[in-house]
Amino acid sequence: MMKYILNISDSYERFLSFEEMAGIKLYMSMPQFQIHHEKECNISLTNIAVNMDEELWRAPILLANPNSTISVNEDLVILLKSANLKIKNIHSLDLEIDISNTEYYHSSGLNFNIGDRYIRCAGNSFDYQDAEIYIKIIFNGEVYLEFDEEDILIQTIGYQDQIGGMKKACEFNEAVDMRIKEKNNIFNQNILNGIKSPIWNWSFIDANFISQNGFIEAINNF
């Protein structure tokens, strides 16, 4: 099994897509809070769309494995059936999970310094049925995406769908939804501290962060 670890610290905003593409839903696990205390966070991703049209991302893969699935074309979006997003040197992590029209929150304690970066992850919950999860992280460390060759699917070449249209997309979604249903996890709100920090207020974001150099960065200390 060929495993890849890509350093996407300077390109994660254009590399990862947290938007639903071609009807295929993205699923995310709950971040591992205990790892956060070590200033590192891991988030498991299922069916995430990833741009693979820049040499920056392609070269490490093809160097390790010239016969990789991505070798077929340079203008690709791939679908990763499973991947791990690792973010280092975290200053704060805020979580919202929406279940049955009810919002639940967790905050590690919002704090940041000028120049810290902000990343927002959003998707369907891989832990609980009919739930959505939103994660906002402020950090100033490196970002890595880890995945296996066997989890790579070609989603588009240029603008041409390679998955099989909406029928196939529905099959992808139904397969993951069934896995979640089989887990039968019951949400316990006590795993969260119930704190809703100002990071969920867009006026707070606008006042304290700016989009520059391809990233969203803090312009104030907090």
> What gap in Å lies between CA 99 and CA 198, rounded to an integer?
21
Q: Cα angle at 30 between 134 and 47, to 5 degrees?
A: 75
CB of 93 closer than 8 Å to CB of 121: no
pLDDT > 50? residue 36:
no
The model's pLDDT over 148-189, given as tens digits with 9 standing for 90+, comes to: 999 999 999 998 999 999 999 999 999 999 999 999 999 999
Q: The whole model's pTM is what?
A: 0.93
User: What is the arithmetic mean of pLDDT over 68-82?
Assistant: 93
The model's pLDDT over 102-132, given as tens digits with 9 standing for 90+, comes to: 999 999 999 999 999 999 999 999 999 999 9
pLDDT > 50? residue 35:
no
pLDDT > 50? residue 137:
yes
The pLDDT > 70 percentage for the chain reads 97
Residue with tokens 């973010």: 87
pLDDT > 60? residue 12:
yes
Compute the chain's Rg from CA coordinates: 18
Q: How confident is the model at residue 37 (pLDDT cuts 50, 70, 90)?
A: low
pLDDT > 90? residue 98:
yes
The model's pLDDT over 192-212, given as tens digits with 9 standing for 90+, comes to: 999 999 999 999 999 999 998
User: Among the residues of the chain, which ranges form H helices?
Assistant: 12-15, 33-36, 55-64, 165-183, 202-208
For residue 183, give both structure tokens.
Answer: 């887990």
* 3-state secondary structure (DSSP) of residue 193: coil
> What gap in Å lies between CA 190 and CA 37, rounded to an integer?
18
Sign for the pseudo-dihedral over CA of 45, 36, 217, 58: negative
CB of 136 closer than 8 Å to CB of 188: no
